[in-house]
Structure 1
């Protein structure tokens, strides 16, 4: 099972948008996927169309007792519609009929903020790992982290096989991501040796912007092979797609189709080692 943490040091770079785009690509390709919403704002939960379920605890509550609960008992089906599938039951979720696209969610909540305190205690760092150890149904787990380098993010890194950092081509984001990479490398050596690979994706890119092109070149020099070959352009209707709680692959229009294709490429890049590979960036 591949566990990818999607992280950023600063807010506003589209980290959750990347998480949702990858979830949409995985769903479209029929990859059984679980999204764990570790951000206290729970934006991924909202964007996936998940409502409150009295029978399923949120991730903040589950982290309180990771050895005493089965995570599988608390996942809920994504609420994304699947209008192109004749097998859709209207829930967009994980029924067992043939061809159904499995995309489940562990709901986020503000309670996760209780774990934002910095810590290096193994008991704290392994809370998410213990929850995920009992899950075998999924080929891919996407962990949407809070936009900060705190205890919750470190807990996610400790549970992951791969870490994806999201950055936009701006001065502060580029510098902050470089600092995050250094912190991640140190943390990985000591506490997250299960992390096989780390990478950076450029998001909200404006191809016509001279500043963005300059910053992309700076990112290539600073991050080297860890900068993924797919850059995600800024999309004017992304807020509309997320507000409607739809997958980008099902949204009509050429712009959405182009974004969906890029998320397919990004997912394909993440299924291969992120380090030690160089290819032409596309956006």
Structure 2
């Protein structure tokens, strides 16, 4: 099971868009996925059209026992292949600025206890954590649980500084207690090809992060908002703009899965 966090330390850059795009790509390509909605705004939960549940991720962070986790997971309205560990406004009570080590590991423990159809199997091949735009307990919990981090930005001045702080947070978590965490890369969202400011900021990002910046960027397309408003994956929104965006998410999913295979091959036999 591969766990990926989508994050930036600036709001409004499209972290939830990326989480939903990855979930749609996973469903389209037959990769069972769980979306963990850690953002107290719970926008991913809304867009995934989830029905009522007996618990939410806030309850899981109170008590990560398997019975609580089961009550907080629901199938998405997108159909088979995507489930949701549902978000709620109450999750904000867990966003402490200086959490304890025990608080930071609750999400990881909850994910480690996910149950497949038998004791030797996992229910999901991919877990996607949608983080809030702040570096408190919630985002740090995601980084403590994740194998990969996708740093999301848009090509504006303040977003560039936000993604730099997000990268520093990933490096700090690697040093602090999760050496398996790797930044998968920087994904630039809402790009307008003829906008000179966007071109300048993209070049700035490439100078800062080099090959970590994904070659494929997400264009500014109305299809993204239209699909989210209809509670549908972008992969099912049949317009030229939607197909263009879908191809980017397919590439991102492939990069994630290849990184997991490389890590498995590189691991010592006794750890596999």
Normalised by the length of structure 1, the TM-score is 0.85
Per-residue CA deviation, residues 22-70 of structure 1 (Å, 9 max, x unaligned), is 11000000001000100000000011111223xx311011211113635
Q: 1:75 corresponds to which residue? A: 73
Q: 2:37 corresponds to which residue? A: 37
Q: 1:18 corresponds to which residue? A: 18
User: Secondary structure of the equivalent of 2:258?
Assistant: coil
Q: 2:109 corresponds to which residue? A: 130
Q: 2:270 corresponds to which residue? A: none
Match of 2:237 among 251, 258, 261: 251
Residues 197 and 273, structure 1, Cα contact 8 Å, conserved in 2: no
Decide which moves more: 57-66 or 265-274: 265-274
Gaps of at least 5 residues in structure 2 are: 115-121, 261-272
Quick one: distance in 2 between partners of 1:72 and 1:133?
13
User: Secondary structure of the equivalent of 1:205?
Assistant: coil
Match of 1:263 among 232, 249, 256: 249
Aligned residues: 253
1:156 aligns with 2:142: yes
Residues 70 and 134, structure 1, Cα contact 8 Å, conserved in 2: no
Per-residue CA deviation, residues 238-280 of structure 1 (Å, 9 max, x unaligned), is 2221111001111121111111111111111222349xxxxxx
Normalised by the length of structure 2, the TM-score is 0.89
- Tell me the C-alpha RMSD between the 2 structures: 1.6
Residues 71 and 131, structure 1, Cα contact 8 Å, conserved in 2: yes
Q: 1:115 corresponds to which residue? A: 94
Q: 1:279 corresponds to which residue? A: none
Residues 66 and 110, structure 2, Cα contact 8 Å, conserved in 1: no
Q: 2:4 corresponds to which residue? A: 4
1:211 Cα deviation (Å)?
1.1
Match of 1:104 among 58, 78, 83: 83
Quick one: distance in 1 between partners of 2:178 and 2:99?
11
Quick one: distance in 2 between partners of 1:209 and 1:189?
38
Per-residue CA deviation, residues 102-155 of structure 1 (Å, 9 max, x unaligned), is 111111001110111123522011010111011221000000011111110000
Quick one: distance in 1 between partners of 2:161 and 2:72?
38
Gaps of at least 5 residues in structure 1 are: 81-91, 94-101, 275-283
Residues 2 and 147, structure 2, Cα contact 8 Å, conserved in 1: yes
Q: 2:59 corresponds to which residue? A: 61
Quick one: distance in 1 between partners of 2:216 and 2:258?
13
User: Secondary structure of the equivalent of 2:84?
Assistant: strand
User: Secondary structure of the equivalent of 2:222?
Assistant: coil
